Amino acid sequence: MDFRLENEIPMSARELWRILHTPEFDAFTAREYELRAYEELEKQVSDNLIHRRVRIITGTDLSYIPLGLAHKILGDNEIIYEEIQDIYLNRYEMHWKNKWIEPSLFKDKIRVSGMLRLIPIDECRCKRIREMSIRILIFGIGRILEGIAAEQAKKTSGKFSQVVDRWKSENAKCGRS
């Protein structure tokens, strides 16, 4: 299932892009989303590209699949995956894909990837666009789970604006760092 999400973010594209993949903002975002871990495992920087590999651990209660269904299907209470990110420094764009780690039973059955892009609006706002592709290759219920995951992503898509607001109130004002 492919879908697109758009949100207005209360920070300029330039400022958000500057902090978006820093250890400080990563840690702040992980706390805000109540992730069990968000750890940068690898980082390679070239002239126009940052390539990162990040390990993410979340509880099934925080995943895009409802808790009861997650426990029944996954048989575990946490999800571990790695996100491979290609961050283009010459434009506000990042391509990513997830590599499923645990529960290992489904590591070849779940594929999630996408693109994140920022579009400047003015000196204090930007539009955050996320295009995502979710493929769950489980016979009989894969399409249903894809739809549930997409709906959950849509329901929670506005939270990032609130995270940025909290970051700004603790760390910066619009136009200042």
For residue 177, tell me if it sits in a domain. Answer: no
Query: Which single residue is written with the structure tokens 């506000």?
Result: 92
For 85-122, give one letter per residue: b (16+ CB within 10 A) or e.
bebeeeebebebebebeebeebeeebebbbebbbeeee
User: 23 preceded by cis ω (within 30°)?
Assistant: no
Does a structural domain hold residue 150?
A: yes
In terms of residue numbers, what domain contains 80?
Answer: 2-171
* 128-160 per-position pLDDT tens digit: 999 999 898 888 888 887 887 788 778 778 889
Q: pTM for the complete prediction?
A: 0.81
Total number of domains constituting the chain: 1
Taking only the tens place, the pLDDT of each residue in 113-132 is 999 999 999 999 999 999 99
Task: Supply the CATH number for residue 110's domain.
Answer: 3.30.530.20
Quick one: how many helices (H) and strands (E) in the chain?
5, 7
